[in-house]
Amino acid sequence: MKEKIKQLAQEFSAEIIANRHYLHTNPELSYQEYNTQKYVAERLKAIGITPIPIANTGLVAIIEGRNPTKKVVALRADMDALPIVEANDISYKSQNQGVMHACGHDVHTASLLGTTKILNSLRNEFEGTVKLVFQPAEEKAPGGASVMIAEGVLQNPAPNKMLGQHVAPNIPVGKIGFREGMYMASADEIYLTVKGKGGHGAMPEICIDPVLIASHIIVSMQQIISRNRNPRFPSVLTFGKVIANGATNVIPNEVYIEGTFRAMNEEWRAEGLAKVRKIAEMTAEAMGGTCEVFIQKGYPYLENEPELTRRMKGAAIEFMGQENVIDLDLWMAAEDFAYYTHHVDACFYRLGTRNEAKGIISGVHTPTFNIDESALEIGAGLMSWLTVSELAL
């Protein structure tokens, strides 16, 4: 089966690349993936698979092998792009001005289409069911995964296991990365409005200085990570935007602060956010002002189920070779695949796409992001092998 999958991945590689080029040329923003949905649906229908719309711009489909009720494995690819002006000089450059597949979701979708074609060709050679999840809106809260779950993507049939992959521009093409347990962080956005009483900078005694209050709030909040967090759970609190529209001799009425809180434990996440609110409000009150706190809840932390991830790593070693499978570090970025990991045993792994010799070195979310496209054949083949390996158990 392994060699047959490799052969099919190679046979379908030109088509997989062509799919990626189309998607890259025609990117669409989160919750707006109407043409992408249509394109993916057409590709599925062309190989005899019936797509079912879900979450407005998403799709779900089924491949049934022999004894389809034995086990169900779900495979997910995200489809949305980012509001970035592409700077690459390539034949398949984005034609939607200001929109770019700068996070590799075109790669994920094209790869899953390739995996779909491979597995559909082999459906009489494995037992169980494969559930294909083409998901919109990974890049924008509340996240397409949460919407799909709410609309029943993890039901009828309910998957026993779920797999997802993501491009890794820091990993050389031809290599795959795995990590058991905690892998990616939750991500919540913090918006603070510190209110005081503005006035002349030479007469601070008749003002309530929101700049000073904001400074104390930011400094005081550092204790949340350094003194309140359990050291076993990585966490980050960063404030990246502070606006105080005063002048050299003007104390403003308000100061605006924006930041992010990230965690790898849901209990600590809730506790940390509560401390953010309390410190901001009480510090402002103690200094004579007020602070309005708005917290935009984002994605939960991502947990790779250890036993499944261990099996997938072992299967990847069989497919790729020991030297091409690496261990990943914790990553404090966020990914809405995390929602699935809180409902079903899941494994989210990384697909190497870097090629320094070809100058393919840009990171995700940059205007020059691109991949070594040999990763597409690897991605489609490996996901097919991981799926049949898990279904065989």
Active-site amino acid positions: 299, 373
Per-residue HEC secondary structure of the chain comes to CHHHHHHHHHHHHHHHHHHHHHHHHCCCECCCCHHHHHHHHHHHHHCCCCCEEECCCEEEEEEECECCCCCEEEEEEECCEECCCCCCCCCCCCCCCCCECCCCHHHHHHHHHHHHHHHHHCCCCCECEEEEEEECCCCCCCCHHHHHHHCCCCCCCCCCEEEEEEEEEEEECCCEEECCEEEECCCEEEEEEEECECEECCCHHHCECHHHHHHHHHHHCHHHHHHHCCCCCCEEEEEEEEECCCECCEECCEEEEEEEEEECCHHHHHHHHHHHHHHHHHHHHHCCCEEEEEEECCCCCEEECHHHHHHHHHHHHHHHCHHHEEECCCECCCCCCHHHHCCCEEEEEEEEEEEHHHCECCCCCCCCCCCCCHHHHHHHHHHHHHHHHHHCC
Report the C-alpha gap between 382 and 388 in whole angstroms. Answer: 10
Respond yes or no on whether the N-terminal peptide bond of residue 142 is cis (omega within 30° of 0).
yes
Structure tokens at 255: 């100061």
